[in-house]
Structure 1
Amino acid sequence: MRTSRPGFLLRSAATLAVAGLVLTGCGSSDDPTDSKPSPSAPAEPDHEPLTGVQLPEGKSAARTHPAYIVKIDNTSASAPQYGVAKADLVVQELVEGGVTRLAVAYYSQLPKEAGPVRSMRATDAGIAAPVGAKIMTSGAAPYTFAQLKKHDVEWIDMSTPYVVRDTSKPHDLLHSVVGKVAKAGKATEKDGKAKRPGDFMPWGDATTKLAGGKPAKAVDVKFSPARTDNWVFKGGKYVLRNNYMAKNGQFRADTVVVAQTKTTIAPYKDPGGAIVPVSHFTGRGKAWIMRDGQIVEATWVKKGEKGAVTFTDPKGAAIKIPPGKVWLDLIPQGNGQVEPGGVSVK
């Protein structure tokens, strides 16, 4: 605030009175109305990072627990798989012997248990890193640990109380490990640090529709001579006919995405002497997106393990994924030692 001598105020009263008329008309930096904050723009509605489902107004997707990925066996020996139905997202990857393994991701809800839990692969870096997910695992090869550490991926193994052995199955050491997902999430509450993962997919909104699709009520997705997924569109969802999930715990996908990825061979072999393929969910490749009984061909692009994936149509236009549960198949391009995968519509 400016201060003046009283004598000066008496001599200048008339001048100020006239000047006040002018200042009132054109405004002044001392005008109290100038200091009022402008109305803030309404906050954008938040959505679940692993499903794209919009949250009620005022609700945030930030939570005190991170996203979790549980590595689950995907052979007949794993039946019945449990906890999969509550997942936000499932990724299927090729492992040794031509069979596959699941990376089952949770964030919007955490099941009490999920499994049977198996070991990680280097492929998991490109799946977990984009959303900062912690992987629940029974273990891994030294090469895999090094690759995940390189990309800042954390894991939770059997040295913790959150990945434990089911003592009621002493006859099957490979398929008796349980992931205590809700317990792990509960343990993070004391930290009180809410954080929201980045989006796993380029989500659209409830009005988003895929354009240029062809009918696809039954689709086969080939990983290897030993594994082909048989997808059918039924009741508005995609159902995997040849799965090993419990009958009352089926994961029903709103969208199925297939990404063909570069494949290399890990510098070690499994205990049986088989080569271990690594599917690199980085770079670019061909993609197929199934939704509402239609299939769309696309190109996927992902810059590095930590990068977010994007999709474009044959004309180069960006594709948004409608909200909902997604099943992502990472099939191999093939490299001489591994046969290329493929997609066929029946």
Structure 2
Amino acid sequence: MNRRSVAVGMGLRDRPNGSAGSTRPAGRTRAGAVLGAAVAALVLAGGCVVGPGGQDRTGTPARPPSGVLAVKIDNVLPARPQTGLAQADVVYAERVEAGLSRLMALYATRLPGAVGPVRSARETDLRLLRQFDEPVLAYSGSQSRLRPLIEAAPLRAESPGNRPEAWYRGDDRPAPHNLYLRPRRLVDAPAGREALTAAGFREGPAPAGGRPEEERTVRFPSARFTFDWSARRGGWLVETDGRPTTDGGGQLAPPTVVVQYVTVRESAFRDRGGNNTPFSETVGSGSADLLRDGKVWPVRWQRATEADGTRFTTGDGTPVNMADGQVWVVLAER
């Protein structure tokens, strides 16, 4: 049995309706008829027409077509077990204050009924999400100095203050570990698998070779993740801080785990307790370990600019594929 432990050091248009009178030129009359037919089709298909101010005619804010939905999820002991993690396409595990961990779950192919507990955003999230086209970031609060960066980021930021109808508090645990999101009240439909492929999450056959590996542990200063290969499940059984990571009673078992080694440095932000917020740099290049099919492959990652997706390749530059199903990416300090 091959076992390896990785120590991770401290260290978010409307168009006016035209009309064509009988005195207008024929071309404009036809244009008006076409526009009118289009509006009618919208009414029949969606039940509303978007008007000025981004609202439909009932006064409800219109929901624009959405990209990948990213949800910040609490990961301390009082927040577990989480809800909606099993339906995520990609789960990022990142280091936060005091060496603890937090998750960012991405939904592109399906939307669960609820996700949570939802917590605050970090600067690392904004950099990661630049890989995706117009993503939606669902979060609860942030440091005041980070808010201008969130507002300036090319994403659709959604918090309880924006759309209160999409959020609720559970009664099974104390605040702040009881805030949940109803994704279908925030976005109309999943973005689609292609949104993930464009960012580097390609599905397909495994690379040649690979070394058998049955267990991998990644350690943060005050948290750890263990992935145990299960041939029966066809995935890596996830443990967080020595406890099974479950959702709805079953232990999560993603078919693919990527341990991405990145630079982790101090940021300009601190929490209320004075702890510095670590920033994980995901632009640039470095090494990674790809775990799938009970094996591990040492690979490279490269992301030239913030707007680029992350390319995972073998040593000769050949792109590597993920297995079909959920992917966990653990941002480990190099």
TM-score between both structures, scaled by the size of structure 1: 0.70
* Structure 1 Cα separation of the partners of residues 110 and 281 of structure 2: 28
User: What letter is aligned with 1:161?
Assistant: P
Q: Secondary structure at the match of 2:110?
A: coil
Between Structure 1 and Structure 2, whose CA radius of gyration is higher?
1
Asked whether 1:258 is paired with 2:259, we answer yes
The aligned counterpart of 1:108 is 109
Residue by residue over 1:58-100, the C-alpha shift from the partner in whole angstroms, topping out at 9 and shown as x without a partner, is xxxxx94432111111111101211111111111110001111
* Aligned residue in 1 for 2:119: 118
AA of the residue aligned to 1:307? D
In structure 2, stretches of 5+ residues that fail to align are 1-63
Distance 1:251 1:209 in 2: 21
Match of 1:240 in 2: 238
Stretches of 4+ aligned residues off by more than 4 angstroms: 193-196
Alignment-derived partner of residue 284 in structure 2? 283
1:220 aligns with 2:217: yes
Q: CA deviation at 1:314?
A: 2.7
Q: 1:1-346 residue pairs with structure 2 within 5 A?
A: 64-131=65-132, 132-159=134-161, 160-166=163-169, 168=171, 172-186=174-188, 197=195, 199=197, 200-205=199-204, 208-222=205-219, 224-234=220-230, 235=232, 236-242=234-240, 243-333=244-334
Q: Check the 8 A contact 1:156/1:162 in 2, yes or no.
A: no
Q: Please give the per-residue CA displacement for 1:71-130, whole angstroms capped at 9, x wherever unaligned.
A: 111111101211111111111110001111000111211011100000000111233222
* Distance in 2 between residues matched to 1:64 and 1:322, nearest whole Å: 28
1:262 offset after TM fit, Å?
1.7
How many Å separate the matches in 2 of 1:219 and 1:167?
A: 34
Of the structure 1 ranges 238-247 and 300-309, higher mean CA displacement relative to structure 2 is found in 238-247
Structure 1 spans left out of the alignment, 5+ residues: 1-62, 334-346
Question: May I ask how many residue pairs the two structures share in their alignment?
Answer: 263
Instruction: Supply the distance in 2 between the matched residues of 1:268 and 1:64 (Cα, whole angstroms).
Output: 32
Q: Percent identity?
A: 25
Q: For 1:124, what is the secondary structure of its paired residue?
A: helix
Shift of 1:230: 1.1
C-alpha distance in structure 2 between counterparts of 1:117 and 1:204, whole Å:
28
Q: Does the aligned pair in 2 maintain the 1:260–1:285 contact within 8 Å?
A: yes
Three-state SS of the structure 1 residue aligned to 2:67 is coil
Aligned-CA RMSD value: 2.5
Q: Which shows bigger deviation, 245-254 or 322-331?
A: 245-254
CA contact (8 A) 2:245 2:251 kept: no
TM-score relative to the length of structure 2: 0.72
